[in-house]
Amino acid sequence: MAFEGQTNQSAFILASGWVCSYKLMPGGTRQIVDFQLPGDFLGLRSVLFRTADHNIEPVTKVEASEVLASDLLSTFSRTPRLATAVLWAASRDEAMVVEHLVGIGRRDALERTAHFLLELGARLKLVGLGTKNGYACPLSQYMLADALGLSAIHVNRVLRELREGGLVTFQRGQVTFHDFDRLVAIADFDRAYLDHDGPLLA
């Protein structure tokens, strides 16, 4: 089965049995992202990106038929540019949603907020709208709350804690990192899932 970070996977279609895909947190807890049921596709992103961004594990005995990675890739090489770009975008989106899911399921408010601010920063830096020191952020604390699955009031408390800890500042539409490394450590932030630029767009 596929493990995080591993490379050169294959993809499958589940014929019978159940499989689950999950992520492990540093504390040893895990968040299951999805269950694969018979008929479901399995391991798609790990072929397209040549790296698995989560683990999978059988729940029951399973039977699956393999879809050769080479078939998949050759199919896409004969496919219009736009179509592969679309698929790539969709997969990147899904990876982000997955990360978001894990954050909400298994991180407390502080870690979750820190992670979120870091992720936004990383994405903005990719398009030249942010630096290692911070970025302009038009969000209100209410929006942050809706994104993080928290109440606005608690978001405020958490932001204060981050501020008083000398970690980040979220004020007047500006996010400023004051201790980037410590923040990354708190959030257990790993930006790998953002720099997918797999084989498809070569």
Partner DNA sequence: CGGATAGTTGACTTGCGTCAATCCGCGTGG
Partner DNA sequence: CCACGCGGATTGACGCAAGTCAACTATCCG
25 binds DNA (CB under 7 A): no
The residues pairing with 13 across neighbouring beta strands, listed in sequence order, are 41, 65
Tell me, letter by letter, the H, E, C secondary structure of the chain: CCCCCCCCCCEEEEEECCEEEEEECCCCCEEEEEEECCCCEECHHHHHCCCCCCEEEECCCCEEEEECHHHHHHHHHCCCHHHHHHHHHHHHHHHHHHHHHHHHHHCCHHHHHHHHHHHHHHHHHHCCCEECCEEECCCCHHHHHHHHCCCHHHHHHHHHHHHHCCCEEEECCEEEECCHHHHHHHHCCCHHHHCCCCHHHC
175 binds DNA (CB under 7 A): no
Binding mask 28-67 for a copy of itself (x = CB under 8 A): -xxxxxxx-xxxxx--xx-------------xx-------
- Out of 109, 122, 124, 194, the residue judged to bind DNA by CB under 7 A: 109
Q: Which of 38/165 has CB closer to a copy of itself?
A: 38
91 binds a copy of itself (CB under 8 A): yes
Here the tokens at position 191 are 């930006």
6 binds DNA (CB under 7 A): no
The residues pairing with 66 across neighbouring beta strands, listed in sequence order, are 12
The residues pairing with 34 across neighbouring beta strands, listed in sequence order, are 21
169 binds DNA (CB under 7 A): no
- Torsion angles phi and psi, residue 4, rounded to 5: -55, 135
138 binds a copy of itself (CB under 8 A): yes
Here the tokens at position 183 are 């923040």
- Out of 108, 128, 181, 202, the residue judged to bind DNA by CB under 7 A: 108
With contacts defined by CB under 7 A, name the span among 33-41, 91-99, 122-130, 143-151 that binds DNA: 143-151
With contacts defined by CB under 8 A, name the span among 82-90, 159-167, 174-182, 185-193 that binds a copy of itself: 82-90
Q: Which residues bind a copy of itself (CB under 8 A)?
A: 18, 20, 22, 29-35, 37-41, 44-45, 59-60, 71-72, 75-76, 78-80, 82-84, 86-87, 89-91, 93-94, 96-98, 100-101, 104-106, 120, 123-124, 126-127, 129, 138-139, 143, 146-149
Q: Which residues bind DNA (CB under 7 A)?
A: 108-110, 140-142, 149-154, 156-157, 159-160, 171-172
